[in-house]
Homo-oligomer: A and B are copies of this chain.
């Protein structure tokens, strides 16, 4: 584009920013819709169930409660299974894969987005151990992908004027902004969103992108703030203060001394161990589900999801009956608390208890997941929970979050992990405050526990820290949260890798990590070449080109000509399959092999622009008359004359770095000595994949991959 006119550059820039704005706007709207719907549906559900409870009709309450939950999950699961199977799960691995350069079909389609949105509303309202955060990130990516592609051909929504992004980089950048916006919308954490995209999702990052992602998340933040203020007037039904997830503890005590570091270290280690255990078990459960589903008809998935809903409802409803009612504490020094409460929110739930008493477990189980977290994080509510209650809650939450994530509905992991961590932290806090007389609040421990568990599973540091700070709106907790995250990540990395990485591997996305594997040092670039080179001459007969395109699946072909002086073979460059197809489609042929320009059509630069996914030409689309096949085609003008090359003797690690850091699709391996063939092979993503190299050179592999360890370096 640098060669284009000033106006075009200006238009291009304006479009980029306009698209970033639009992305943020749509994500903000989607987040508001989800939150508004969930709060209203779930709120209504709790109100109905509670009213039956207070009137003593417990069984009726349970029946209605379970029926509503199951119905909602049925809707969500049916949509997912029959309309958009790729909408299942969180969508973070998918976004990550796309941004690593993988064009997986259908994962970012509009239908996926719609199902993700509606499905999320259903299953989150139904109270499954799932969050809406992961799906919002996926929705953000989908919105950005849709805009970046200029619509979608499959759904006849493509507008020519929208199609301004002609290359992968611009599209990828927009999807990065979309991811950041999704996180920002999920947690109301605009800075956390940018950092999440930077730390976890993208593979390439530029400073200019930082700025645009920041703009997107700012738009999202403003949207949410305005939506919240609009709803503060009370016209949004049950969607009010607690609506958008935010666990405000800004007025809490944030001082600490040297001695307080000890329980924090314990919490970090616990978070790291339990987080890696969670990673291990969760991925194993998901794998089981996948194998089990393989041989079953699709409706099995729907039934499975519904069973999960019934099980969850039963636990949430009946478990609180196991604990004894406790007398209400004196809450006069905490403004806004009352005891006991009934209905949707509140710390001290009345549930089945007489007036003046509360059921501590009901405040956790018989509430939305957001409220449960809020209750766990609550400060100054010393000894609100009994040991047994919090232990039961932790155990049940841990098991449910393990077995729920793999079912066929849109599901996020953040909220379940926060719940696990917060209950663990509260437990540790209770033990600490009793045995050591530690001055820190139990709520403080709950926040740190959430940080530890998240750090132990996701293995991020900076972005999680910022997200937690933005969620809790308390900067004074920063040093402790940092510490606990660092410890949890370090401990977790000893056992296995981050959960998203494990899911990327389960789903089989050929992601290239940022650093080469150590064994690549022992291989040369030549070793990784697997397929023999299929090359073209600068002027080829059409039939030859057709044959080459039909008989190979290569996406790039080296062009090899002859030196005008010595007559020896010279490597002229790479020509792309897609560009060859454009030439063939437009019949830009010559009569003679001399390649004279007569009769050849002039093609515009824009004709070669990369089309959106699903719109690219295929060899089957080419239909030529026999006499045309005898003509000649001059590929010289569409040859990339200076592709990136490595010497055959270069270490594979070096080639990997070049390939990965510059985001290449093809890397040519050239010989050291000029008398051989001028090119040895073309390396693509698959040549660098760990699994493929493992099959070729099994003896080089270490016995046991201590995953994640390389990240320490």
* Cβ of A518 under 8 Å from chain B: yes
> Is A651 interfacial (CB 8 A cutoff)?
yes
Query: Which residue of B199, B482, B570, B658 contacts A673 across the interface (Cβ within 8 Å)?
Result: B570
Q: Is A272 an interface residue (CB 8 A)?
A: no
In the complex, whether A3 has a CB less than 8 A from a CB of chain B is yes
Q: Within 8 Å of chain B (Cβ to Cβ): is A369?
A: no
List A518-536 residues whose CB lies under 8 Å from chain B. Answer: 518, 521, 525
Partner of A711, one of B3, B208, B566: B208
The contact of A642 among B211, B255, B479, B649, by CB within 8 Å, is: B649
A13 at the B interface (CB under 8 A) = yes
Complex contact A713–B483 (CB within 8 A) = no
B residues less than 8 Å from A572 (CB atoms): 672
By a CB distance below 8 angstroms, the chain B residues around A195 are: 195
Chain B residues with CB under 8 Å of A593's CB are: none
Given A214-B486, A465-B214, A565-B673: A713 touches B13 (CB 8 Å cut-off): yes
Task: Looking at the assembled complex, report how far the CB atom of A60 sits from the nearest CB atom of chain B, in whole angstroms.
Answer: 43
The answer, yes or no, to whether A322 is at the interface (CB within 8 Å) is no
**How many whole Å from A501's CB to the nearest CB in chain B?**
12
Which residues of B are found within 8 Å of A479, using beta-carbon distances?
190, 218, 221-222, 225
Identify the closest chain B residue to A218 (Cβ). Answer: B482
Contact B675 A568, beta carbon cutoff 8 Å = yes
With a CB–CB cut-off of 8 A, which chain B residues contact A482? 190, 214-215, 217-218, 221
Q: Residue A641 at the B interface, CB < 8 A?
A: yes
Q: How far is the CA of A518 from the CA of B482 in the complex (A)?
A: 42
Q: Distance in Å from the Cβ of A555 to the closest Cβ of chain B?
A: 20
CB distance from A652 to the nearest CB of B (A): 10
Q: Which of B191, B483, B673 contacts A466 (CB 8 A)?
A: B191
Which of A191, A657, A711 is the most central at the interface, judged by chain B CB atoms within 10 Å of its CB? A191
Cβ of A644 < 8 Å from any Cβ of B? yes
Which of A208, A646, A712 has the most chain B CB within a 10 Å cutoff?
A712
Q: Give the contact stretch, choosing among A102-110, A114-122, A470-478, A503-511.
A: A470-478
Task: Find chain B residues with CB under 8 A from A675 CB.
Answer: 563, 565-566, 568, 674
- Which of B470, B650, B651 contacts A475, CB < 8 Å? B470
Q: Find residues 102-141 in chain A having any chain B CB closer than 8 Å to their own CB.
A: none
Answer yes or no: A502 CB below 8 A from chain B CBs: no
A688: min CB distance to chain B, Å: 16
- Known contacts A482-B221, A521-B3, A641-B649, A214 near B462 by CB under 8 Å: yes
Interface of chain A residues 632 through 686 with chain B (CB within 8 A): 641-642, 644-647, 649-651, 654, 657-658, 661-662, 672-675, 678
User: Which of A221, A566, A647, A711 has the largest number of chain B CB atoms within 10 A?
Assistant: A647
A461 at the interface (CB under 8 A from B): yes
Q: Is the CB of A13 within 8 A of B712?
A: yes
> Which B residue's beta carbon lies closest to that of A228?
B255
Cβ-closest chain B residue relative to A221 = B479
Closest to A489 in B: B211
Q: Tell whether, in the assembled complex, residue B514 and residue A207 are in contact, meaning their CB atoms are under 8 Å apart.
A: yes
Q: Which chain B residue has the least Cβ–Cβ distance from A647?
A: B642
Of B191, B206, B647, the contact of A645 (CB 8 Å cutoff): B647
Q: Does A615 contact B (CB under 8 A)?
A: no
| Contact in complex: B191, A478 (CB < 8 Å) | yes
Write out the residue numbers on chain B whose beta carbons fall within 8 Å of the beta carbon of A236: none
Cα distance, A469 to B214, chains bound together (Å): 15
C-alpha spacing A256/B225, complex, angstroms: 8
Least CB separation from A648: chain B residue: B642
Give CA–CA (A211, B570) in the complex, Å: 47
Q: Is the CB of A207 within 8 A of B711?
A: yes
Q: How far is the CA of A483 from the CA of B16 in the complex (A)?
A: 17
A223: nearest residue on chain B (CB-CB)? B479
Chain B residues near A470: list those with CB within 8 A.
475, 478
The interface residues of chain B lying within 8 Å CB-to-CB of A256 are 225
In this complex, which of A515, A565, A661 has the most chain B Cβ atoms within 10 angstroms of its Cβ? A661
> Are B226 and A465 interface neighbours, CB within 8 A?
no
With both chains docked as a complex, state the minimum distance between the C-beta of A328 and any C-beta of chain B, in angstroms.
30
Q: Is A626 an interface residue (CB 8 A)?
A: no
Q: In this assembly, does A229 line the interface, its C-beta being within 8 Å of a C-beta of chain B?
A: yes
Interface centre among A256, A461, A674 (most CB of B within 10 A): A674
- Interface check A257, CB cutoff 8 A: yes
Chain B residues near A302 (CB-CB < 8 A): none
Chain B residues lying within 8 Å of A662, measured Cβ to Cβ, are 657-658, 661-662
For residue A220, give the distance in angstroms from its CB to the closest CB of chain B. Answer: 9
In this assembly, does A34 line the interface, its C-beta being within 8 Å of a C-beta of chain B? Answer: no
| Chain B residue nearest in CB terms to A213 | B462
Q: With an 8 A cutoff between CB atoms, is A194 at the interface?
A: yes
25 contacts between A and B (CB under 8 A): A2-B518, A16-B713, A191-B462, A191-B465, A208-B712, A210-B461, A210-B462, A214-B461, A214-B482, A214-B486, A215-B482, A217-B482, A218-B479, A221-B478, A221-B479, A225-B479, A226-B258, A229-B255, A250-B475, A641-B647, A642-B649, A644-B646, A644-B654, A645-B645, A658-B662
List the 5 closest pairs (A to B, CB-CB), nearest first.
Answer: A674-B674, A642-B650, A218-B482, A2-B518, A221-B479
Other contacts beyond A210-B461, A645-B646: 8, CB < 8 A? A13-B712, A191-B466, A206-B515, A215-B482, A218-B483, A218-B486, A565-B675, A644-B646
